């Protein structure tokens, strides 16, 4: 693994921090969906028949999908190279 020798301690810790933040964000934002799905499977009365089921499922999906919208901002905050490329891309979009 030649990349290990070129990875400085600071760079490796930055990468590890980014992975932890991305994983924690994923767990935080998708846990309502999985919790509701689990509860619907274990309860006696079917939650599928309730009138608020559609709203609940749409809400939990929306919360989960925001994970994808938040990821670029996490990368931009924690990664120097990504931040630079992200700013260049936004400028190109806005000023072209």
Q: What is the pLDDT of residues 39-75, one digit of tens each?
A: 888 887 766 667 788 888 899 999 999 999 999 888 8
Q: Are 39 and 47 in contact (CB under 8 A)?
A: yes
Query: DSSP per residue over 37-89, as a string?
Result: HHHHHH-SS-GGGSTTHHHHHHHHHHHHHHHHHHHHHHHHHH-HHHHHHHHHH
- Size (the chain), residues: 96
Q: Does 4 map to a domain? A: no
Q: Does 34 map to a domain? A: yes
Q: Which residue has the higher pLDDT, 83 or 48?
A: 83
Q: Does 76 map to a domain? A: yes
Domain coverage including residue 48: 9-95
Q: Does 79 map to a domain? A: yes
Cα 21 to Cα 66: distance, rounded to the nearest angstrom: 15
Q: Does 89 map to a domain? A: yes
pTM attached to this predicted model: 0.71
Number of structural domains (the chain) is 1
């Amino acid at each position: 693994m030649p990349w290990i020798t070129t990875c400085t301690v600071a760079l490796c810790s930055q990468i590890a921090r980014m992975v932890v933040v991305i994983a924690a964000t994923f767990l935080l934002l998708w846990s309502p969906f999985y919790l509701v799905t689990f509860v619907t499977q274990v309860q006696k009365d079917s939650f599928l028949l309730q009138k608020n089921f559609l709203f609940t499922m749409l809400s939990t999906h929306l919360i989960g999908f925001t994970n994808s919208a938040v990821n670029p901002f996490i990368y931009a905050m924690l990664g120097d190279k990504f931040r630079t490329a992200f700013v260049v891309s936004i400028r190109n979009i806005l000023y072209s």
